[in-house]
Amino acid sequence: MLSLLDLSARIDAGRLTPEGAVGLVREAIASREPEVGALVCVDPAPAVPASGPLAGIAVGIKDIIDTADLPTRMGSSIYENWRPLADAPVVARLKRLGAVPLAKTTTTPFAFLDPTRTRNPSNPGHTPGGSSAGSAAAVAAGMLPLALGTQTGGSVIRPAAFCGVVGVKPSFRLLPTVGVKCYSWALDTLGLFAAGVADAAHALALLADRPAIARAGDGGAPRIGILRQEFCATPEPEAEAALARAAAAAERAGAAIRDLTLPAPFGEAFAAHGTIQDYEARQALAWEYAAHRDALPPRLRAALDEAQGIETAAYDAARRTAHHARRGLKDVFSENGFDVLLTYAAPGAAPAGLDHTGDSRFNRLWTLMGVPCVTLPVDRTEAGLPVGVQVIARFGDDGRALAAAGLIERALRG
């Protein structure tokens, strides 16, 4: 994989120019893209700034995020020829930092469940996950050092785990979702993919203009709660093994490890996620549903059909349940003395087949809670498929989540 920090260090040392760094990415795309299919389009002649903290860093932009220099097709034929007039603020921020938004990455249509054509770089017969399939696969295939995605259920954490890269879903609204096609305004969260934890921390700190995010590893060994999310169906054995291996590595590195079972209200909040998501999607995609229902893919069309029957009272009740759980999560951290939680990133390795994107059951609660989450690759199955874990911190404590993930990453390598 291409490391953002390695490329930047070579540029800073004069061993590589920003144009040369982009050229390396182009070579990687030419080599791997025919097999992986992670990209919608590539800018043939982008501006490459000569300076800036991300100068020479090519970035993949999920194709529901507006770009003035490239089409934004939402993964749908409805927007086949759509060309925004302006960059989304997060893209504009990348450009100010010197980065090069080089390619649009594949997304499931409107970031729902109908799969893309993208294949898992570790095994082309397995799903890369969704909905940020292209972003995760492009980084995993070594085609891009950084890519943006979004998460409404598990669309950053799950594909990162399936593809074997670091994925970060930051605290809710840490990064602006203006200029991003909305599915659920209470849940949609911008995230990113990178080769390693330090790369991801560096990129997030710059994007959010919060340098402390990349310096959060100075607080000593973390206190970690091991969470198995009993309100979800049991994971595959490889997910359990990865969680145990990550916990053991953290303990070797000095972390204090203790099991945690969440109180009942969190299971209720987990169940409420779908009501909130679908009620809001019904409104966010009201024009597409009314004017182009037959052009919507089957899973999305069926979900919107069913969402028409959700009553406002049920939505309001689900929001109250979520709010109660968010308040309770603060107590879970403080009363147990935990810095972070460690849990499954996905039910197991990427499933076989390209007709689905996998299960987000271990991600949905944390999207609803709005807290920062980091996927960390841990193992590979006998078939060579990656398996990851998920590190979770308090709302606004993104640096601590990344620092704990970095500690585990280093311990696993040691």
> Could you report the per-residue pLDDT of 112-154, keeping only the tens digit for each?
999 999 999 999 999 999 999 999 999 999 999 999 999 999 9
Q: What would the pLDDT profile of 289-308 be if each residue is shown by its tens digit?
A: 999 999 999 999 999 999 99
Q: Residues 146, 238: one domain?
A: no
Q: Residues 167, 80: one domain?
A: yes
CA distance 131 to 109: 8
Contact 186, 280 (CB under 8 A): yes
Query: Is residue 286 in a domain?
Result: no
Query: Is residue 120 in a domain?
Result: yes
Domain count of the fold of the chain: 2
- CA 63, 67, 72, 74 dihedral sign is positive
CA distance 68 to 293: 27
Residue 275, pLDDT > 90, answer yes
Find how far residue 32's CA is from the centre of its chain.
Answer: 21
Q: Residues 208, 110: one domain?
A: yes
Q: Residues 115, 242: one domain?
A: no
Query: Is residue 355 in a domain?
Result: yes
| Structural domain boundaries, residue 324 | 221-266+316-413
Could you list the beta-strand ranges (E) of 49-185.
Answer: 58-62, 100-105, 146-151, 166-169
Query: Is residue 39 in a domain?
Result: yes
Q: Residues 200, 327: one domain?
A: no
pLDDT at 273: 98
Q: What are phi and psi of 376, to 5 degrees?
A: -130, 120
The neighbour count for residue 63, using CB atoms within 10 Å, is: 31
Among the three residues 188, 216, 244, which one is the final residue of a domain in this structure? 216
Query: Is residue 275 in a domain?
Result: no
pLDDT at 216: 77
Amino acid code (one letter) for 45:
A
- CA 208, 210, 215, 217 dihedral sign is negative
Among the three residues 216, 249, 284, which one is the final residue of a domain in this structure? 216
Contact 36, 138 (CB under 8 A): yes
Which bin fits 164, alpha (ψ -120 to 50), beta or left (φ > 0)?
Answer: left
Query: Is residue 133 in a domain?
Result: yes
Q: Per the structure block, which two tokens stand in for 15?
A: 């061993």
Alpha helices per DSSP H over 56-156: 89-96, 133-140
Q: Residues 41, 159: one domain?
A: yes
Q: Residues 80, 210: one domain?
A: yes
Q: What would the pLDDT profile of 85-104 be if each residue is shown by its tens digit?
A: 999 999 999 999 999 999 99
Query: Is residue 16 in a domain?
Result: yes
Report the SS3 class of residue 58. Answer: strand
Q: What would the pLDDT profile of 322-354 be if each residue is shown by its tens digit?
A: 999 999 999 999 999 999 999 999 999 999 999
Query: Is residue 272 in a domain?
Result: no
User: Model pTM?
Assistant: 0.98
Q: What would the pLDDT profile of 23-54 be if each residue is shown by its tens digit?
A: 999 999 999 999 999 999 999 999 999 999 99
Q: Residues 247, 112: one domain?
A: no
Half-sphere exposure of 101 (CA within 13 A, CB side): 26
Q: DSSP letter string over 257-282? A: EEEE---HHHHHHHHHHHHHHHHHHH
Could you list the beta-strand ranges (E) of 65-183.
Answer: 100-105, 146-151, 166-169
Contact 11, 21 (CB under 8 A): yes
CA distance 156 to 136: 8
Q: Residues 242, 344: one domain?
A: yes
Q: Which residues of 158-180 are buried (b: 16+ CB within 10 A; e: fewer)?
A: bbbbbbbbbbbbbbbebbebebb
pLDDT at 218: 64
Enumerate the active-site residues.
62, 131, 155
Among the three residues 175, 196, 216, which one is the final residue of a domain in this structure? 216
Q: Residues 257, 400: one domain?
A: yes
CATH code of the domain in which 226 resides? 3.90.1300.10
The gap between the terminal CA atoms of the chain, to the nearest Å, is 19
Q: Per the structure block, which two tokens stand in for 32?
A: 């791997």
Strand order in the sheet with 189-194: 39-42, 100-105, 58-62, 146-151, 189-194, 166-169, 373-380, 386-393, 340-344, 223-227, 256-260
Q: Residues 49, 195: one domain?
A: yes
Q: Residues 23, 47: one domain?
A: yes
